[in-house]
Each structure stands twice: as structure tokens, then as C-alpha cells.
Amino acid sequence: MRIKIISHNRMKKSVEYLFDKLTNEDTKDTTRMYPSLSTFSNSDSFFKSIYARIDEQSEKVNKNLSVNNTTKHLVLTFHPNDKSVLPQYMDEILKDVFEELKIDPENHHLVGFEHNDRSHPHIHIAFSRIGVDGTIFDDQKLGWKINEIAKKIEKKYSLTIAADQKPNGITITRKHLYKPTKRGKLLKLINYGILESNSITEFQSVLKRHGVTVKKLENGTLNYITSDRIVYKEEIMPKEARLHNLYNIIKTQKNSKETIDKRIDLQNKILKCKSIKDIKDLFPNSKVYYQVDGSFVQNITIDADGEQIKLNNLILENIELDPYVKSYDTNNSINFVSHNSNDNSFDEKKQKHLDNKNKKKGKRLGFKVQI
């Protein structure tokens, strides 16, 4: 069993929808108003009482109140295995919930709807925070309270324990009760990718390995495309998953203690190497890039499955070098690429690139004046 809090800015619409399901041809067979909670017969009478309480309380506190912060909406959700025992215990379960939360159904204008349109039975409960007698429902630490209540009820009536309450179970936050949603899995993968990356490129590579393509759009936003071609635009994702926030988060964590310790550990291992072959042996199934300047090896970059670790401040002296190669033997699991900074052809290419770049800049800056 789980108890969930429904909170949003369209509370009136959502409660009206619950009442509408009672008369809708498609849903009336799987929906009913719970007999012991039938304080109101329609949404108009329910909200008329809510507005009356709001007017009374607004005068007392000299503050404008709204339906959204006055109406509470809870959902009691049960495991499919409990369907057979619920009719026997439901009245007692509801009574226990109300007693634990200190809710008087009549005083707080409570209505309840039982739904059986899903594999898991569930009951929606909507009520006013302001009682007829002026008492206010205490919703401080409500999330913690309802979790404790759910545990007590599960134990008392021997109900099936929810997945996120089991030892070593899957933690599901604001998702479907007994099965993680696709979006939920994607959010977990995004969190993992952020922790494992030092740049947006690495972040894209991490998610790509797990079947999710991260596409940067021209308008500065991201699309997350899953292996089954479902597209999640960043507008419907949490702030942390949006491009401008990803830059800040990844940049900040670059200097975290864990990252710094990891880099120091790698540097210490590389410093013990006597040859390029020793460095290769440290990083199997990876690409390692480096530059040679005389007898020095510097600017070492390790690319392991698209995740890069750059050790620009590491300089190795008097190390046994391999001859310049573009790619290592294909039979070798490592693709090792080096660049000799004394190679004139490289400098020529670099200078040509800069010349072309400057030409383009000049074109952009040019303008004509017509007299």
C-alpha cells in the first residue's frame, strides 16, 4: 500500500474530473463514490462549501486563499494482490487513515472515489484543509506522516508491501507505484550521466551507451530520444536535465573532491610508467592521446568509451616513446594516437586553418555605406 499526495495548480479541474467519471459511459462501471464518504453528490456543492470556508478564513487571517492551497487530494493505492481482501477491510483502513491524520470527514467536507479501472485498486480522497468549526488540517511533514501510516496499515492488515518499502527494492519517487515509468528510468539515467561526465559531449556519450540519444537543437535546448524512438523534450524534464543547467552542474562537479582524487590517482599511476607501452597497459580497451615535445610527453587524454579524462598538467620526461603512428595494430585492443609537435605539416595545417578563420571574420565585419 502507498498513500500519495496530489499537488498541482488545477485542483478544481481534477476534482470535477473525479465526479464526472461517475456518470461517464466509459468509466461509470469502474468508478463509484465510496459509500461512507458520500458527503456531496456533485462537484458544485463540494466547491460551494470550499469557497464558504475560504471566505471565512480569509477574513480571519487577512490573506487571500485559493482552492489550490485549501483543497487536499490524497490517493490510497493498493497492490493488485490485495484485491480479494480489500472489501473486507476497506472501511477499517479508511477509519485508521482518518484517525492518524486527525481528519473528521464531515467537518472537512471529505469526498472519496473508488476506482477499479487499473490493475491496482485505489481510492481518491479530496477534502478541505479548513474545517466547518474553523480547525486547520496540519499538513506539515505530510509526506513523512503518510509513509509511516502506510507502513502501519500494511502490517496491521497483512497487505502487500510496496516496492519502494522492500529491503533492496527499487526506489520510485513520484512515479507509478509498482512499476517504474519510462520517463522515470530516463531521469535516473540522466542523473547517472551527470555524475559520470566532465562535459556535455561525455554526457551524450554516456546516455548513448545506454540507448538514449541526446540531441542539441539550434534553439539551445535538448531532446532525449530513447531506443524505441520516444522523444522527451527538455521542457517536460526537471531543470537539472536542461542544457543551460547541465553546463553549470557538470562544470561545478569537475572540481569535486571525488573527481580531483580520481585524477591524482591516475597521475600517480602514469608517473610510474617507463614507456608508452606501460601507459597502454593501464587503460585497456581505451584510446589514449598525447603530444611529444622533444624528450617530453604531455597533454595526455584518456578516452574510455567516449568519457574523457584530460591530464594537461602532467609532463613525463625521459620516457621510452613509440614511433609516430596514426593508429595502432588493429589486433591490439588499444587505439593509441600520438602527435609530434615538431612535425612541420601539422603547423602548416594549423596556420592554414587560422588564415581561413581570419578571412571569414573579415567578411562578417565588412559593410557597405551608400551615399
Tens digit of each residue's pLDDT (9 = 90 or more) over 88-125: 888 899 999 999 998 888 888 888 898 887 778 899 99
Question: Do residues 26 and 158 both lie within one domain?
Answer: yes
Number of separate domains in the chain: 3
Q: Assess if residue 368 is contained within a domain.
A: no
Which of 139, 165, 191 represents a domain boundary (last residue)?
A: 165
Which of 165, 198, 226 represents a domain boundary (last residue)?
A: 165
Which of 165, 199, 233 represents a domain boundary (last residue)?
A: 165
Q: What is Dmax (Cα atoms) for the chain? A: 93
Question: Do residues 33 and 81 both lie within one domain?
Answer: yes
The mean pLDDT of 58-63, rounded to a whole number, is 73
Task: State the Cα–Cα distance between residues 206 and 307, nearest whole angstrom.
Answer: 7
Question: Do residues 109 and 73 both lie within one domain?
Answer: yes
Q: Treating both helix axes as pointing N-terminal to C-terminal, what angle do 11-20 and 43-61 enclose, rounded to 10 degrees?
A: 160
pTM greater than the 0.75 cutoff: no
Task: State the Cα–Cα distance between residues 216 and 200, nearest whole angstrom.
Answer: 10
Question: Do residues 69 and 32 both lie within one domain?
Answer: yes
Buried b (16+ CB within 10 A) or exposed e, 266-292: beeebeebeebeebbeebeebbbbbeb
- pLDDT (0 to 100) of residue 74: 92
Tens digit of each residue's pLDDT (9 = 90 or more) over 242-252: 888 888 777 66
Question: Do residues 299 and 248 both lie within one domain?
Answer: no
Tens digit of each residue's pLDDT (9 = 90 or more) over 316-371: 776 776 654 433 333 333 344 444 445 555 566 666 767 776 665 444 444 444 33
Question: Do residues 66 and 93 both lie within one domain?
Answer: yes
Q: Assess if residue 353 is contained within a domain.
A: no
Q: Assess if residue 267 is contained within a domain.
A: no
Q: Which domain holds residue 130?
A: 2-165
- pLDDT (0 to 100) of residue 308: 67
E strand spans, 217-341: 222-225, 231-233, 287-293, 296-304, 307-317, 335-340
Task: State the Cα–Cα distance between residues 318 and 107, nearest whole angstrom.
Answer: 85
Q: Check residues 232 and 308 and name the one with the higher pLDDT.
A: 232
